[in-house]
Structure 1
Amino acid sequence: MKSGTERTTGGFHEVVVASRSTREAEFGNVLAMLTFSALRDREILAPVLGTVLDAVVAMDRGGVIVGWNDQAAATFGWSASEAEGRKLEDLIVPVRHRDAHRTGLARMLAGGEPRVLNRRIEISALRKDGDEIPVELAITRADGCDGEVFVGFLRDISKRKSDEVRLKRQATETRVLFEIASLASEADSFEAALEAALKGICELSGWPVGHAFVVPDPGTQLVSSDIWIERNPGEADDLKQATNCGGFVMGRGLPGTVLMTAEPVWVADTDRSGNFPRKGLGFRSAFGFPLKAQGSVIAVLEFFCEDPQQPDPDLLLTVRTLGEQAGRVFERKRTEDRQKLLLGELNHRVKNTMAIVKAVIAQTFRSARSSEETETIINSRLDAIARAHELLTAERWTKASMTDIIHAALESCGASPDRVRIDGRDFNVRAETAVTISLAIHELCTNAFKYGALSSEGGSVQIGWTLTDESPPKFAFEWVERGGPTVMAPKASGFGSRLLRSGLGGLGGTVDLAYEPQGFRMNFVAPLPAVPSIAGDEVAKD
């Protein structure tokens, strides 16, 4: 920037400006009419300063305000009568900048190189109400009859800065959302997609720590994904430990509140919050927001900052949008993961079922006396397998009700309900055992019709089981036939007995077949991998 030439004319100090912007020329035109004495004469100066778009503040060599226009009053809240005669640093210089202000003024008065004269800078200024605002500042020195003065032109650039921040955030938001969508689509798993989201939001918000909870069905409890983003490795170790021990459910703490409201939640000061169990761990503010799919919360993302932070409405609006948009992407990813798992499980189940079918067919051909009998036996056994598959399909191949399995198997062999008593507390059977149990019940029922209690008009079958409370729990099953012909132990093991011993025994239990004269009895005891999911109370059906 060229400084121009100077001359004194008619008692006024003029600055002739060459090659300056329109705004700088405006400064020069005002300065051409300013002298120290003129600043004292409001009648002469007021019309000039009133036309300037910027706040104009003049200061003498001692740092005392000697000029203050209407725009300065509007910008900083001090009237001219309140401002003039007071130290500039006491009115509009923020406390943290006052030492630098005094040092710079002293350096210039001592003949040192000025650092802020004749150029524009951006700095913070203080208002009467205590708020700080960003301003653009240009300072020029003028010589008057009573000494040297410094004239500053200040423009409030709060809106410009706000617009810049908004535009930057919008650009970052668009980029982050695109990256999250891309990474989520390309990620190998739902967890990898969550990690991509956490990184993007940490970048967007500038907050140093992020973490994700997942929400399994039925949606009242949160489970930590163990996915954490840290700006500095190890800075959230205490927070991680407290999170793992937190037991977060609906309504508890920040994540529980997000789950309950399905809305973003901001905690301005965690130490003052009555519902923030993880306080005192180095993070004073936090916010969280939900990822939703089809109206339900599928995950909660939370973020932490070391210092108290007042809610940022723009950021909350942004993360709400991101949560809604990204939730759909993540739901697609989670659905794909589930489908892959289901296909893998289905492939495994089909192979196992085909192995059972092959064994059924092979053994039936060996033991059947005619082709008609072979066809009948094979059809009935395959029907038992199919009914078990129907039950599993209804539960997405995860489980099947024990009573449903038994009733389906009995129905497939034609057992009359009034001849079979079922007594046991219902529970869910794992998919991998449902087919085996169904086929075993069918085989027991078929043998009872051919040789046992159901072959006689007065015979009956009692089916019962119990579940123990020990760990791991045990399942004790009993099949008892009474009222049929006198029972004699077979001379050789048939397919039925082999199926019962190998099939049920393959579930990790023990099988006891007792050919008592009054009726056949089978006992089966096996450990369960976990406490069963109880489907109802004690049942007794005839």
Structure 2
Amino acid sequence: MPWGTPSAQEVKSVDDKSVSSEIPIMSQMADQSAECHSDKERQLLAAIIDATSECIKIVGSDGRLVQMNAAGLRMIEANNWAQVEGAPVINLIAPEFRDEWRANHKRICAGEKVSWTFDIVGYAGTRRHMETHAVPIRLHDGETGQLAITRDITARREDELQAARLAAIVASSDDAIVSKTLEGFITSWNAGAERIFGYSAEEMIGQHITRIVPPELQSEEEDILAHLRRGEHVDHFETVRLAKDGRRIDVSVTVSPMRDKSGKLIGASKVGRDITERKRFERLQQLLIGELNHRVKNTLATVQSIANQTVYRAKSANDFATSFGGRLQALARTHTLLTRSTWQGAVLSDIVRDQVPLSEIEGDRISYSGPMVMLNAQAALHLSLVLHELATNAMKYGALSNPLGKLSIRWMVRTDAGRNLVLKWQERGGPTVTVPQARGFGTTLIEKSLDAHGGLTSIRYEAEGVTCEIMLPLPESEPATGGSYYKPLPERPQAPRSMQSSVEKPVAGKRILIVDDEPLIAMDIVASLEDEGCQIVGPAGTLQKALNLIERKEIDAALLDANLSGDPVDTIAAALARRKIPFAFVSGYGREGLPEAYQQVELIKKPFQRQQLVDVIQQMLTEDDTVVPFRKTT
């Protein structure tokens, strides 16, 4: 019934000892109810109780409602008191909380004070979470009932659940989630931050965030704090932070301002994701793309050089097509071998089987043996071309050109002076051998290919057949697992150039150093510049040989590759600069592949036109007092 209407079950008296100290207002109200003698006071008390936002109710010992204020009626979605008068309270309790409610009501009626939480379901079906504080109260009929103040804490509970969910997310996140004050002092530090940066929460809470910021990025953190003080969100950005062990960690960071319930700015939250692996992958990807670009361009330049050298010495169009096609096929077969090993290298025995025509020769006329030797990609390509040249000439003029000749290929690894591959190509039983009167392309290719790797070759033209011995240095870290007849094609006389005698060659007589570890490309550059009257220094296929030539020879200008068998050419570029020798790069890499200190040096990209070489050399030699021409070209 409403608090202003008296009844037979109205509160008769209240035992002070039974009133909970947690609800002093209720105690005072009960005392006033027992003591008041006038309707005016009674009405005032009822008005106060009905004005409160909390549910105040009296429940009889039988669990039925005796009285309830207006706030309580609103909470249970009752239209009026008549709808609920004498109703069992248990009907309003959510099913899973009913046993607990009965037990607690019994305890209260036995004289205990009880506080607990439970859910109710109103008459309109709305579910609310309630917090109640209840004390025993003596009713007029002499029974002990329950006097309770109940508060709707549904919103608070949702906030707590939301906070708990967020706390669980923060605790279990692999990302670093950190909060800090507007001055930059850390107030929370989750397990993800511990894992990424190595500091525990105890080590970091109370410390300034700059503890994990590299010295050169301190100003970046100041800018972030300035944005936060203005209440601005700092969008995702990538930066670097320091771990406890000194490692530099690539992180992706988002920073958001934090506000209290009143909207006041109180700090900031930072979410940092470790992107070190992603950045490493991106750098590797760029490296691989650059390497692929370099290899493709180098391959094209190699093909261009093969074409130039072949056509220069070919006797006819058919002769050119046969020689050029054979060399391209040799190159392609080795590329296939290298592709199977993801370009890590190729086994020597596989190269021999690919380049020597085993299936075309009947019987046991060809034999080969040796340990399992893995050659790196570049050495494999060059040795493939060497073996192709030897085999081609053996088929045309040597031991494999008649049915009686035999070919033996033997190799071993010597370790007496470093690790060296020693290969012996020996032909016997072919036509009588005579020493060639001129050097052909094959001979030059063999020598230059091996020289590019610091190797040596020796060809002996003996009456019973040709013997070729090859020595090729091997890397110390790569374990060994696991003499041919050569009649060169006649030199093709150089065709006179149109008006050659009347046109002055601008670079004639200039001493040009050539540094390139691709022998075919180096040969093509040499041939191009010799046609212009240049004197060639080198070519050098290794760092040490290039440095020795720079030290000992007079050089007017230099053309150098950006990379020699995986080694950068920074030291060569620096040596040329010290001697004030102008130079340009000839490379399949873009500018990002050039030495950092010389990225503005003239760059000729492979494959190139011969005239480009001449134009760049002429430009370098006409620059007054210029060691390195810093004119960026595409």
Q: What TM-score, normalized to structure 2? A: 0.40
